[in-house]
Structure 1
């Protein structure tokens, strides 16, 4: 146990240092990496060391797995050290690739035109499309079951992803409204309130699709943007808001369970241990799945040899064109190795995905690639304290795209977020071009 604790302490110190550096220098990719890795790999271990729970699912672990916890921590340490080394080493070349990311419209006008159109287009598409599908299903409860449990809506999740795009752009609209009005939160104009409504409505649609994760990411993104652009958040406020968010996410999961139960007429099992219930609700158990992957890959089952990353590269193709395509999410496949009848998956973290596909070479390759991509990202959005576009888009993209690094779903996010946001930036810039000077007549 002592070596597991020492490795955990070293990993936590490294992660905290990178997170602190990211916050101090306003580097959204570093902030995102440290924050999400902390959620997925740090908090669960506190529960182990305090004796509040054991690795899940219990039938596949011994009561104490200190050697396995030590191994997982060493992999996490190697990941973060290689990633940060690559991040620093790639600095001289990073500027060559920054143009691939959505540059801001660089507006000098106080009331930019075109923002509302770019917010309403994806919002209306997502809300109206989801409303139609809910009516076709016969109600919210049945739709939630079809989406979350039965997985019967494949190919239609573009409506869910559109809500993410709408929320990010609405957050940008809200921030520029606050910036030009300089009224803060005490007095919100109708324009600002409209953007808040779009964010809430879009996240409600996300929830109807059975997704709480995007809601959490949007809340985190908004909090970080608020810190840099409206009012600084101290550590006490961060802890209080984090506890409230955890309670809200647990409540949303329970509500989702009630809705699914009403649609199926049967009660779904719950966990008797509240710490396990909290860990599954907040994705803490991804660390458990990582340990399982490190132990069994190459023994109980073969390595995936890059199949999940190939699936990720093909993920942008609509199912109407390529109906046989496999999901890039490794979690469902991984869980079926142990429980063949279960549809929902066990995500194995980004490190786990690279390991299951390529072994320890995957840890090195994935961390090195992630460091390079993160450096390009932070260089592209450098100066976010002075530019609301860089603040909102840079922070939101980092939170939504990086789960501790570049993962199997990264290519899909390029098509669903980066390309539409690049178009939005172009449209807003086009709508706010200065009028050409009139030629004087004789």
Structure 2
């Protein structure tokens, strides 16, 4: 029963996000559906066992019901928090004539980022000993806290400006250009080289969510667009499965093919299992992570080469797994609801949800002010790779790589080319017309 209540509330969040024209809330809903709702259905139907199987038994249904209700509470608190809901005019469906040089900035923004990412990829391949060696080193270094996440900053910039270029091409030419698509594919390759699949899937989903939100803004449905969205609903999970199989083969792991037992792992849908362990065993843990872990994790993006004496800052997922398997370095993530529940108990669920909505409004405002034409895609991308299911312990570290660095890059280009942000340019036009 609780499984279907969770399915219902997840659907309500997605519908409400669509009604509000809110891509961040929609992206968070997609992550909740992937991390918790889908896994709850899989476990309820007996399609796959819980992970790891030796920590769960056949009598875990009451535990799953408790986890379902906590996630339901998380969703309800997010939907019930009225902090800074966006207005009907936040997104401008028409092309923005923000400033004379804005198209020029859009055109040139891709090239420095693409050259930097290309140089980084070549350097890693040459110095690292090949594709498989680089990917293995990146995965192990990230798991051991080596700070390899800093290398994701360059591909993240390229992915953001590639989406910006693609959207600009669609506005001006009614179709994406070759440069934008090539930049997008280059960023995908760089992410995969660094052992990261999530940004690839998130980049594709950001385009899909952007299309969904723009259908709502224009109040017009296209049969062709609906067919594209239906195809995306089938193809995106398949791409995630294929990428995991390819990465497993590259890393020479024990997995030879993606089968039924690997479905949830391929979609990163086992947050539910880690959350279940937290709910069941939180009272048994002698030492828990510090409640300041939200701020401590923000330093995890600094490489050990720059900060040799950097303290060992284990993520909550890594800490959780080492409570059961002390020798392992890969973690069992629990997601934002699990982080807040572990550190603050049940009261942490509404507290974390409120802070999630507050942070989401700030990100939504930043995306719309940066460029209303591509803000929907940017907000959707940031919700999928920065927020995921909400504001968790690693939120600030991801925000530095995915929001701060790309925004600073775009603002510097605008300043150099004397381009005002769209909102400021519209204000100046209004003032000139009425004075």
TM-score (normalizing by structure 2): 0.83
Question: Is structure 2 residue 152 aligned with structure 1 residue 160?
Answer: yes
Describe how 1:375-414 pairs up with structure 2 within 5 A. Answer: 375-379=361-365, 381=367, 387-414=372-399
Cα distance change on mapping 1:21 and 1:359 into 2, 3 Å: same
CA offset at residue 342 of structure 1? 1.9
Cα distance change on mapping 1:415 and 1:314 into 2, 3 Å: same
- Per the alignment, residue 146 of structure 1 pairs with 137
Match of 1:241 among 232, 235, 246: 232
- Per the alignment, residue 348 of structure 1 pairs with 334
- Per the alignment, residue 91 of structure 1 pairs with 84
Q: Which runs of 5+ in 1 are unaligned?
A: 99-103, 262-267, 435-442
Deviations 1:197-231 (A, max 9, x none): 01101111100111111111111112222344598
Counterpart CA distance in 1 for 2:159 and 2:367 is: 19
Q: CA RMSD in A?
A: 3.1
Contact 2:138-2:148 within 8 A present in 1 as well: no
Match of 1:175 among 162, 167, 192: 167
- Per the alignment, residue 9 of structure 2 pairs with 14
Higher mean C-alpha displacement, 77-86 vs 143-152: 143-152
Question: Is structure 2 residue 205 aligned with structure 1 residue 220?
Answer: yes
What secondary structure, in the 3-state scheme, does the structure 2 residue paired with 1:306 have?
A: coil
Counterpart CA distance in 2 for 1:273 and 1:108 is: 50
Cα distance change on mapping 1:134 and 1:91 into 2, 3 Å: same
Describe how 1:298-309 pairs up with structure 2 within 5 A. Answer: 298-309=283-294
Question: Is structure 2 residue 180 aligned with structure 1 residue 195?
Answer: yes
Contact 1:311-1:325 within 8 A present in 2 as well: no
Question: Is structure 2 residue 351 aligned with structure 1 residue 365?
Answer: yes
CA offset at residue 318 of structure 1? 4.8
What secondary structure, in the 3-state scheme, does the structure 2 residue paired with 1:412 have?
A: helix
Counterpart CA distance in 2 for 1:299 and 1:122 is: 48
CA offset at residue 37 of structure 1? 0.3
CA offset at residue 308 of structure 1? 2.6
Cα distance change on mapping 1:150 and 1:167 into 2, 3 Å: closer
- Per the alignment, residue 191 of structure 2 pairs with 206
- Per the alignment, residue 26 of structure 1 pairs with 21
Match of 2:403 among 407, 415, 418: 418
Cα distance change on mapping 1:273 and 1:140 into 2, 3 Å: closer
CA offset at residue 111 of structure 1? 6.4
Q: Which runs of 5+ in 2 are unaligned?
A: 216-220, 421-435
- Per the alignment, residue 120 of structure 1 pairs with 111
Cα distance change on mapping 1:307 and 1:30 into 2, 3 Å: same
Higher mean C-alpha displacement, 357-366 vs 321-330: 321-330
TM-score (normalizing by structure 1): 0.82
What secondary structure, in the 3-state scheme, does the structure 1 residue paired with 2:269 have?
A: coil
- Per the alignment, residue 437 of structure 1 pairs with none
What secondary structure, in the 3-state scheme, does the structure 2 residue paired with 1:91 have?
A: coil
Match of 1:324 among 310, 314, 322: 310
- Per the alignment, residue 50 of structure 2 pairs with 55
Higher mean C-alpha displacement, 124-133 vs 39-48: 124-133
Q: How many residues align?
A: 405
CA offset at residue 258 of structure 1? 1.7
Higher mean C-alpha displacement, 219-228 vs 424-433: 424-433
Deviations 1:11-57 (A, max 9, x none): 22222112112123320121011111000011112222222122111
- Per the alignment, residue 360 of structure 2 pairs with 374
What secondary structure, in the 3-state scheme, does the structure 1 residue paired with 2:374 have?
A: helix
Counterpart CA distance in 1 for 2:362 and 2:207 is: 22
Cα distance change on mapping 1:17 and 1:258 into 2, 3 Å: same
Describe how 1:71-110 pairs up with structure 2 within 5 A. Answer: 71-86=66-81, 88=82, 90-91=83-84, 107-109=98-100
